[in-house]
Amino acid sequence: MKFLDLAKVYIRSGSGGNGCVSFRREKFIEYGGPNGGDGGGGGDVWAEAVDGLNTLIDFRYQQHFFAKSGQAGMGQGKTGKDGDDITLRVPVGTEILDDDEETLIADLTEPGQRVLLARGGNGGWGNLHFKTATNQAPRHANPGQPGVERTIWLRLKLIADVGLLGLPNAGKSTFLAATSNARPKIADYPFTTLVPNLGVVGIDGVELVVADIPGLIEGASEGKGLGDLFLGHVERSAALLHLVDGSSGDPVQDWQVIVNEIETYGEGLSDKPRLTVLSKIDTLDAEERQFLADELREAGAGEVLLMSAVSGEGVTEVLRALRRLVRAEAEPAEDEAEEGPWQP
């Protein structure tokens, strides 16, 4: 299945049905009076977050979604049938933006969340509705209200516990393939990963969802390489795993490039808990490993773990460290939920 995380969609709610002008015409009833029914209401347009989707590819092949209009009212006081609603099924983590691509309409972060995007028009009143003591035979009815037409943008931000960061060929896809059932493309050239991948990693009976995004390069915030187009997919992560290639020749510079790019990107990424890991240590001897790890710590990387996803060395320690970071982030949120809103 192809990956798509941004889609433009045109929606229109249904128009209301017109009211009916009608009079009773029955044998032996001389003054039948008005009996025109009201028009039916137009259908609404909804969006709903559903499980089992992780791409917006369906909206590449269908961009127009129109709800049904209401049926016009009829004689004998019959109300027209309401128009059917229409629901856009989107992946969990989808943001719905207005046509300006900036105004947030809704952020669907949990399965089953629904939001009304366009309300259908009301049905018009029939002439039966206008009968009064002084107007026994009204000869007018209301037209139905028109539906709402608008253009919206759908932007998907994957929801994961851990987001992977690093330069191209830092070993992100190899790590994901070695620790989960995900099968991302792996090769010995840059930008092997062109779209984000999700994998479920298990450690000590706990499962973590890990998001692998295409590698960043210096100037990604200015659009170089694949740019920072996919950084939005790690915005919701509880923690970040920053992989630094130990065989690159200058790991400290590689680390600094990624730090600069996420600081330039903003959106709170630089404030998230981040674990720095020196990867591909199977290509280094013990002295080189220690030297490079010390250099990264001196540069400001904090605690640095060593790992080789190929040989499996250090992988368990990295996963346990990630589990601690994710749990530490989750506990304050759980405490706030238990305390509930402040009461005066």
Q: Say which CATH number the domain at 248 has.
A: 3.40.50.300
Q: Is residue 18 predicted with pLDDT exceeding 90?
A: yes
HSE-CB for 109 with a 13 A CA cutoff: 8
Query: Which one, of 313, 312, 292, lies nearest residue 304 by Cα?
Result: 292
Question: Binding site annotation covers 259?
Answer: no
% of the chain surpassing 90 pLDDT: 29
Is residue 123 within 8 Å of 81, Cβ to Cβ?
no
Question: Binding site annotation covers 310?
Answer: yes
Q: Is residue 16 predicted with pLDDT exceeding 90?
A: yes
Query: Which one, of 302, 239, 309, lies nearest residue 279 by Cα?
Result: 309
Question: Binding site annotation covers 200?
Answer: no
Q: Is residue 79 included in any domain, yes or no?
A: yes
Q: Is residue 21 predicted with pLDDT exceeding 90?
A: yes
* Whether residue 242 is found in the same domain as residue 287: yes
Question: Binding site annotation covers 217?
Answer: no
Q: Is residue 344 predicted with pLDDT exceeding 50?
A: no
Is residue 308 within 8 Å of 282, Cβ to Cβ?
yes
Of 137, 156, 175, the residue that ends a domain is 156
Question: Binding site annotation covers 70?
Answer: no
- Give me the pLDDT at residue 189, please: 46
Taking residues 280-307, report their average pLDDT. 88
Question: Binding site annotation covers 214?
Answer: yes
Instruction: Identify the domain containing residue 203 by its residue range.
Output: 162-339
* Whether residue 120 is found in the same domain as residue 210: no
- Give me the pLDDT at residue 226, please: 52
| Higher pLDDT among residues 218 and 321, named by residue | 321
Taking residues 187-204, report their average pLDDT. 67
Question: Binding site annotation covers 221?
Answer: no
pLDDT for 231-278, tens place per residue?
777 788 888 888 888 888 888 898 898 888 888 887 777 888 888 989
Is residue 90 within 8 Å of 97, Cβ to Cβ?
no
Question: Binding site annotation covers 130?
Answer: no
Q: Which amino acid is at 170?
A: A
Q: Is residue 127 predicted with pLDDT exceeding 60?
A: yes
Q: Is residue 344 included in any domain, yes or no?
A: no
Question: Binding site annotation covers 79?
Answer: no
Q: What is the domain-level CATH number for residue 38?
A: 2.70.210.12
Question: Binding site annotation covers 3?
Answer: no
Question: Binding site annotation covers 206?
Answer: no
Q: What 8-state DSSP symbol labels residue 78?
A: B
Question: Binding site annotation covers 166?
Answer: yes
Per-residue pLDDT band for 48 (boundaries 50, 70, 90) equals: very high
| Higher pLDDT among residues 73 and 192, named by residue | 73
Question: Binding site annotation covers 282?
Answer: yes
Average of per-residue pLDDT values in the chain:
83
Question: Binding site annotation covers 309?
Answer: yes
Taking residues 71-81, report their average pLDDT. 91
Question: Binding site annotation covers 56?
Answer: no
- Give me the pLDDT at residue 126, please: 92
Strand partners, 200: 209
Question: Binding site annotation covers 27?
Answer: no
Q: Is residue 212 included in any domain, yes or no?
A: yes
Per-residue pLDDT band for 17 (boundaries 50, 70, 90) equals: very high
- Of 70-74, 138-142, 197-201, the one with minimum mean pLDDT is 197-201
Of 156, 189, 217, the residue that ends a domain is 156
Q: Is residue 146 included in any domain, yes or no?
A: yes
Question: Binding site annotation covers 308?
Answer: yes
User: DSSP for 69-99?
Assistant: PPPPPBTTTBPPPPPPPEEEEEETTEEEE-T
* Whether residue 88 is found in the same domain as residue 174: no
Q: Is residue 71 included in any domain, yes or no?
A: yes
* Whether residue 97 is found in the same domain as residue 204: no
Query: Which one, of 56, 52, 46, 153, lies nearest residue 95 by Cα?
Result: 153
* Whether residue 144 is found in the same domain as residue 208: no
Q: How far apart are CA 285 and CA 46, in angstroms?
A: 59
Q: Which amino acid is at 208?
A: L
Q: How far apart are CA 274 and CA 334, in angstroms?
A: 21
**CA–CA distance from 98 to each of 10, 15, 208, 210, 231 (Å)?**
11, 21, 33, 30, 21
Question: Binding site annotation covers 58?
Answer: no
Question: Binding site annotation covers 21?
Answer: no
Question: Binding site annotation covers 213?
Answer: yes
Question: Binding site annotation covers 28?
Answer: no
Residue whose token pair is 């990956």: 3
Question: Binding site annotation covers 195?
Answer: yes
Per-residue pLDDT band for 343 (boundaries 50, 70, 90) equals: very low
